[in-house]
Amino acid sequence: MNIITKSNAQIFLILNAILWGSSYIWSKMLLGFLPQFSILFICAVLGFCSTAIIFRKKLHGFNKKIVVTCVLISLISVVSNTFCMLALKKTTGSNTAFIVQLSIVITPVIMAVLERKSPSRKTILLAMTAMVGIYFITFAGKGFSVNIGDIFALCNAIFFSLFIALQNKFSNVFTAVQFTFIQHSTNIVCFLILALVFETGKVTFSNVVNPIFLFLICLNAAVTIFTSLFQSSAIKFVRPENAAITYALEPVVTAALGILLLGERFTGVLPIIGCVIILVTIIVSAFNKGKTFSIQSLKLRITTKA
């Protein structure tokens, strides 16, 4: 996407974090209508159709290397999404949102292995600070009990970290549109097979035509489309470690929407402190070698980047 440049990539990752944070709520609500693989399959179909229609003029230049690379990276995303939906069925949205953010710690480790060097002190410090903020939001004063859902969420964090690390490493091989198109194609095949194997007979027609379901599935599909495009473009300009730190905003969004839509409430002042810590961490992570973003870097510059 030409509107995403090195100077505003961090802004788009923040927007991505907001969209992904909202997806926990939409996905949790959708599970009341359909099983997880059917939901993921429908979202993949909608994402594929939207990408094919909106970006049809940019769907060219494919070769064997691009297709194979995109499919392999997309398969890691399939595993990550599968564990996320399984986690949402077995544990709370807050637990899932927190544990998935362990990617803040996992991603620097993966990048250190791929690049054969240690993460910077700043990255480690910001990651640990963000984890403190997430802990305050989700678990402070509530205790922490591990169940199978929490383990699923941990697996999601591991595969998501690997996903964004590999997407960054091979970002010069494909364009954002190429990757998004192939990712949705891969998702369609994988989730259709999983739905046919594990969910045959579990889909109720009345649930599918329910207006609330249709609204939620379109909303979730929109999140899937834009987050895929934004990340595959922005990750070229932002270190995966910093991207993972930025995604610490997700549980803040999840908590806020939980309050507004599901009647959840903050218990005490610690969750509020956690939100502040995470927001400050994100702002600090936007610094590059001691320099902040300029006013121009906050602009999308759509008019100059057609």
* Burial grade of 153 (CB within 10 A; 0-12, 13-18, 19 or more): buried
Q: Which two tokens stand for residue 156?
A: 């999601």
Cα–Cα distance for residue pair 123/81, rounded to 1 Å: 26
Does residue 1 form part of some domain?
no
Does a structural domain hold residue 171?
Answer: yes
CA 186 – CA 44 distance, rounded (Å): 9
Q: Dihedral sign for Cα 60, 62, 67, 73, please.
A: negative
The burial of 170, by beta-carbon neighbours within 10 Å (0-12 exposed, 13-18 middle, 19 or more buried), is given as middle
Q: How many CB atoms lie within 10 A of CB 306?
A: 7
Between the alpha carbon of residue 150 and those of residues 132, 182, 199, 206, 218, the distances in Å are 18, 30, 23, 32, 28
Flag whether 3 is in a domain. Answer: no
State yes or no: pLDDT of 233 exceeds 70. Answer: yes
Whole-angstrom Cα distance, residue 123 to residue 254?
A: 24
Number of compact structural domains in the chain: 1
- Residues with Cβ within 8 Å of residue 91, at least 6 apart in sequence: 147, 148, 149, 150, 152, 153
Q: Which residues have C-beta within 8 Å of that of residue 281, sequence separation ≥ 6?
A: 126, 129, 130, 133, 245, 248
Q: Which distant-in-sequence residues (6+ apart) come within 8 Å of 296 by Cβ?
A: 7
Give the mean pLDDT of 40-62.
88
Tell me the per-residue pLDDT of 91-128, one tens digit each, with 9 for 90 and over: 666 667 767 777 777 887 788 888 787 777 877 787 78
In a domain, 306, yes or no: no
Half-sphere exposure of 162 (CA within 13 A, CB side): 16
* Contact status, residue 155 vs residue 292, Cβ threshold 8 Å: no
Q: What is the pTM assigned to this prediction?
A: 0.71
What integer pLDDT is reported at residue 176 of this predicted model? 83
- What pLDDT is recorded for position 69? 95
Residue 2 lies in a domain: no
Q: For residue 260, what pLDDT band results from cuts at 50, 70 and 90?
A: confident
CA 134 to chain centre: 16
Overall size of the chain counted in residues? 306
Domain contains 73: yes
Task: State the DSSP code for 296.
Answer: G
Domain residues for the domain of 169 are: 9-298
Give the span between the Cα atoms of 250 and 22, in whole angstroms: 8
Tokens of 61: 């230049």
Q: Which of 40-44, 200-204, 268-272 has the lowest mean pLDDT?
A: 268-272
- Band of residue 177 on the pLDDT scale cut at 50, 70, 90: confident
Residue 305 lies in a domain: no
Give domain status of residue 199, yes or no: yes
